[in-house]
Amino acid sequence: MYRYPVTSRILLAIDCIIFGFDGKDIKLLLVKRNLEPEMGKWSLMGGFLREDEDLEVGAGRIIFYLTGLKNIYVEQLETFGKVNRDPAERTVSVVFFALIQIDEHDSEAVRNHNASWISLDQRPELIFDHNEMVGRAIEHLRYKAALHPIGFELLPELFTIPQLQKLYEAIYNTPLDRRNFSRKLLSTGLLIDTGSKNSNSTTKKATLYKLDTIRYKEKFHAFWNFMPDSMKPVKI
């Protein structure tokens, strides 16, 4: 078979930014790196692309390996390829962005990989250009969550409106008006009232909703505007 007459072939990495939400803070799944260079330092979970796998398959493999989860929300974020981004050798990294329901992950797998869930505002310095990757991912989360109903991916199947509000408040780091939030949300027609109530509350129990998955697909691209003006992304 024909092969291109080009000498330089490059190592292709995949790094995954995995967001979760614990009901209070947005968290990031970070690992202590187990290979040289920079062994022992904090980094994103990553790996090398295999010869026989598509990019998304590689990302799925890495996420499954770390969390035990399949069929979660994953999208490609951006590819980082500065010449010296990795001191060992030229490596180009395709970064993926994943949202998971934090209580469904396999905590043993996470522990075995030296990984931890860390709040965004407490995240340590990361290796290479991983800090930049995380910055872009947070920006993307804010941007996307303002326009599309992706917040649900971070919550359990049954959730309450106050839970969802806390999620958006965490994403934009700003308080939102309860009444307006609730009204706007219900007006999307994406929520189904399950009739039951949240039992683990010490005060008035909130109504549990689930996502109307059919309408969800139809309305995925209907633009929202939950993003407060002051929080609109600032950098390209």
Partner DNA sequence: GCAAAAGTGTTACTTGTACACCCATGC
Partner DNA sequence: GCATGGGTGTACAAGTAACACTTTTGC
Say if residues 125 and 178 touch (Cβ distance below 8 Å): no
Q: Is 177 in the site for DNA (CB under 7 A)?
A: yes
| Residues in 194-233 that interact with DNA by CB under 7 A | 197, 201-207, 225, 228-229
Q: Specify the residue, 67 or 129, whose C-beta has the smaller distance to a copy of itself.
A: 129
Q: Binding to a copy of itself (CB under 8 A): which residues in 69-128?
A: 75-76, 78-83, 87-92, 94
d(CA 21, CA 192): 21
Least separation in angstroms between residue 235's CB and a copy of itself is 8
Phi-psi label, residue 95: left if phi above 0, alpha if psi -120 to 50, beta otherwise: beta
Q: Is 196 in the site for a copy of itself (CB under 8 A)?
A: no
Q: Which of 182, 188, 210, 219 binds DNA (CB under 7 A)?
A: 182
Buried-state track 74-113, b at ≥16 Cβ within 10 A, e below 16: beebeebeeeebbeeeebbbbbbbbbbbbeebeeeebeeb
- By DSSP bridging, strand 91-99 and strand 73-80 are antiparallel
Tell me which of DNA, a copy of itself, none is bound by residue 108, counting a contact when its beta carbon lies within the kind-specific cut-off of 5 to 8 angstroms.
none
Answer yes or no: are the C-beta atoms of 172 and 194 closer than 8 Å. Answer: no
Query: Would you count residue 179 as binding a copy of itself (CB under 8 A)?
Result: no
Contacts with a copy of itself, residue ranges (CB under 8 A): 1-4, 6, 8-12, 35-37, 48-55, 75-76, 78-83, 87-92, 94, 220-223, 232-234, 236
Contacts with DNA, residue ranges (CB under 7 A): 160-162, 177-180, 182-184, 197, 201-207, 225, 228-229
